[in-house]
Amino acid sequence: MDYYRYIHDSSKSLENKIDEQIDEFWQWSKNQKQIYEWEACYPEWGLINTLLERLVHSIDFTVWDQKTINNILFLIARDNECEVLIETLSQNPACLIYFAKEGLMYQDDSVRWQFAHYLTKIADEYPEVEDIILKYSNDHVEYVRRRALLALSYIKSKYVEEKAIEAWNSNMEYQKNAALEALYQVKSPQLEKYLKLGLNDSFEHVRENSERIINLYRE
């Protein structure tokens, strides 16, 4: 394929080209062993990212067809190891916010955790981001909740203590570790209490993480 000619071919809209790439990906995936990081081997990510970059910077995203929006969300999910596509989407903050709202109900959690994380990049200029991340912190998938909790801590959200305590009380190992990290990030008065609990926790990694954070304070 002549990529330059394809990208600049005015007979097809950028949305149509994105839609075409979904079909190409599907055809390629049929012959792949879908094991860890298999999507990263797809040879056309560069082309897809170029199309998305042109789309993000040239066309009002509010008029995009829902099919195209869903296809972009699908591609972002498949790019969950390299995260190049969502980084490109982040170049247009309003577009990122729009897609993050769309992503709340998207079925693939590989999309949802990425939005929870990348929204932190624009939180200083767009206060509404906090409420969107908060919604992700209530996700039914543990990993999404964890990434959202950490995201809330990175932006120093007023909800951090509440969500961290909720995470701790879930009695899930990774949730407890995220709770400790979140409380540490915001220098919460609650941290000392949960570090003491963590030192005697039933999970080895929680005990180790508690010791690590205590040592950070000593440095």
Give CA–CA dist 46/179, Å, rounded: 37
pLDDT tens-digit readout, 175-198: 999 999 999 999 999 999 999 999
Task: Using the 3D structure, point to which of 109, 139, 157 is the last residue of a domain.
Answer: 157
- Indicate whether 64 belongs to any domain: yes
> Number of structural domains, the chain?
2
Q: What is the mean pLDDT of residues 151-172?
A: 98
pLDDT tens-digit readout, 35-75: 888 999 999 999 999 999 998 988 788 888 899 999 999 99
Percent of the chain with pLDDT over 90: 77
Shared domain check, 46 and 151: yes
Shared domain check, 169 and 134: no
Give CA–CA dist 72/169, Å, rounded: 36
Helix, strand, coil: what percent of the chain each, to 5? 70, 0, 30
Shared domain check, 148 and 64: yes
Q: Is the pLDDT of residue 217 over 70?
A: yes
Shared domain check, 169 and 119: no
pLDDT for residue 98: 94
Strand spans (E) along the chain: none
Shared domain check, 186 and 113: no
Domain membership of residue 84 as a residue range = 42-157
State the distance between the two ends of the chain, measured CA to CA, in whole angstroms: 57
- Indicate whether 15 belongs to any domain: no
Shared domain check, 127 and 67: yes
- Indicate whether 19 belongs to any domain: no
pLDDT for residue 7: 79
pLDDT for residue 168: 98
Shared domain check, 140 and 87: yes
Shared domain check, 151 and 56: yes
Q: Is 119 left (phi over 0), alpha (psi -120 to 50) or beta?
A: alpha
Mean of the per-residue pLDDT values of the chain = 93
- pLDDT-derived band at 9, boundaries 50, 70, 90: confident
Q: Single out the residue of 1, 92, 82, 97 nearest to residue 45, CA to CA.
A: 82
Q: Is the pLDDT of residue 203 over 70?
A: yes
Phi, psi of 88 (to 5 degrees): -65, -45
Amino acid at 202: S
pLDDT for residue 219: 65
Shared domain check, 150 and 50: yes
Give CA–CA dist 104/193, Å, rounded: 33
Measured at the CA of 171, the angle between CA 165 and CA 177, to 5 degrees, comes to: 65
pLDDT for residue 1: 65
Shared domain check, 108 and 54: yes
Shared domain check, 146 and 86: yes
